[in-house]
């Protein structure tokens, strides 16, 4: 047995950490390649689509043990509808109220797997100071050795649906339906 393996086994035995815990990898969200976007009704006539431009966070993933965690923070003031007047309105008190609630968070401690690939995340979304469960469906997941970074990078596409009114974002109801479709493109770099 190599000395490094012996040392890890000894440390695991002394600290009570199992080899499974040592297999978990931590990834840092790449803010330049991660954009939570959403779609919401506009009086039944059309859909308004927007995204948040500033996201940070970490993911831990143990594909062998089929476990993981997710801790995401979104800068609410980075909302972008592609329409400046709507951006300013959305930041105000009757919608996202970014002065009082500058951060939207999503935290999860439970992943569902199909083989070694995560397919869903059970977590909690906090928006406007209200925390509710929201399940993310992972539509695509892939890890590669990044050719420029020379480190593993994992990416995915996730989606969810929820009612914004459950979080106190009631602006325009009932003219505007409360259902929101969420899409997240994410890339994360292994630490």
Percent of all residues in the chain with a pLDDT value above 90, rounded to a whole number: 85
Across all residues in the chain, what is the average pLDDT?
A: 89
Give the torsion sign (CA, 154, 158, 164, 167). negative
Q: CA 105: distance to chain centroid?
A: 8
Query: What pLDDT is attached to residue 22?
Result: 58
Is 8 inside a domain boundary?
no
pTM comes to 0.85
pLDDT in tens, 18-55: 444 457 999 999 999 999 999 999 899 999 999 999 99
Query: What pLDDT is attached to residue 103?
Result: 98
pLDDT in tens, 90-108: 999 999 999 999 999 999 9
Give the domain range for residue 176: 24-190
Query: What pLDDT is attached to residue 116?
Result: 85
**Which of 16-25, 56-65, 127-136, 172-181 has the least mean pLDDT?**
16-25
Is 10 inside a domain boundary?
no
Is 71 inside a domain boundary?
yes
Residue 59: which CATH number?
2.40.128.110
Is 15 inside a domain boundary?
no
Is 116 inside a domain boundary?
yes
The span from the CA of 182 to the CA of 184, in Å, is: 7
Is 111 inside a domain boundary?
yes
Count of alpha carbons within 13 angstroms of residue 162, beta-carbon side: 24
The span from the CA of 72 to the CA of 105, in Å, is: 6
Asked if residue 14 has pLDDT above 50, the reply is no
Please give the residue that has the higher pLDDT: either 3 or 137.
137
Is 5 inside a domain boundary?
no
Is 110 inside a domain boundary?
yes
Phi, psi of 133 (to 5 degrees): -70, 140
Please give the residue that has the higher pLDDT: either 2 or 78.
78
Query: What pLDDT is attached to residue 155?
Result: 95
The span from the CA of 72 to the CA of 53, in Å, is: 13
Q: Structurally, how many domains does the chain consist of? A: 1
Asked if residue 7 has pLDDT above 50, the reply is no
pLDDT in tens, 136-148: 999 999 999 999 9
The span from the CA of 20 to the CA of 56, in Å, is: 26
The span from the CA of 145 to the CA of 55, in Å, is: 23
The torsion region of residue 96 among left (phi > 0), alpha (psi -120 to 50) and beta comes to: alpha
């Amino acid at each position: 047995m190599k000395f490094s393996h012996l040392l890890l086994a000894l440390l695991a035995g002394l600290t009570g950490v199992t080899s499974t815990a040592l297999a978990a990898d931590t990834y840092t969200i790449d803010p330049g390649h991660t954009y939570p976007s959403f779609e919401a009704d506009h009086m039944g006539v059309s859909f308004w689509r927007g995204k948040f431009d500033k996201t940070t966070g970490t993911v831990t993933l143990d594909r062998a043990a089929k476990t993981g965690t997710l801790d995401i923070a979104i800068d609410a003031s980075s909302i972008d509808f592609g329409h400046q007047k709507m951006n300013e309105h959305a930041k105000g008190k009757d919608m996202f109220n970014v002065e009082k609630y500058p951060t939207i968070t999503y935290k999860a401690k439970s992943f569902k797997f199909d083989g070694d690939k995560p397919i869903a995340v059970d977590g909690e979304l906090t928006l406007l100071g209200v925390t509710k469960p929201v399940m993310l469906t992972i539509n695509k997941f892939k890890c590669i050795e990044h050719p420029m970074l020379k480190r593993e990078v994992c990416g995915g596409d996730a989606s969810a649906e929820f009612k914004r009114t459950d979080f106190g974002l009631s602006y325009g109801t009932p003219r505007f339906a409360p259902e929101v479709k969420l899409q997240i493109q994410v890339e994360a770099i292994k630490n």
